[in-house]
Amino acid sequence: VPAISLAYETAESDIMKRQPRNPATDKLVNERLISMAYGQIGMIQALAGFFTYFVILAENGFLPGTLVGIRIKWDDRGVNDVEDTYGQQWTYEQRKIIEFTCHTSFFISIVVVQWADLIICKTRRNSLFQQGMKNRILIFGLFVETALAAFLSYCPGMDVALRMYPLKAMWWFCAFPYSLLIFIYDEVRKLILRRSPGGWVERETYY
Does a structural domain hold residue 134? yes
In a domain, 17, yes or no: no
Q: C-alpha distances in angstroms, 171 versus 97, 109, 153?
A: 16, 9, 12
Nearest to 117 by CA among 145, 91, 92, 89: 145
| pLDDT tens profile 110-142 | 999 999 999 999 999 999 999 999 999 999 999
Q: Is residue 15 part of a domain?
A: no
pLDDT tens-digit profile of 90-102?
999 999 999 999 9
Q: What is the pTM for the complete model shown?
A: 0.91
CATH of the domain at 198: 1.20.1110.10
pLDDT tens track for 11-43: 887 776 677 777 777 788 889 999 999 999 999
* SS3 per residue for 48-102: HHHHHHHHHHHHCCCCHHHCCCCHHHHCCCCCCCEECCCCCEECHHHHHHHHHHH
Instruction: Give the mean model confidence (pLDDT) for residues 147-153.
Output: 98
Range of the domain at 161: 29-202
Would you say residue 13 lies in a domain? Answer: no
pLDDT at 103 over 90: yes
What's the pLDDT score for residue 16?
65
Closest to 53 (Cα-Cα) out of 118, 110, 113 = 110
Asked if residue 45 has pLDDT above 70, the reply is yes
Domain count for the chain, please give it. 1
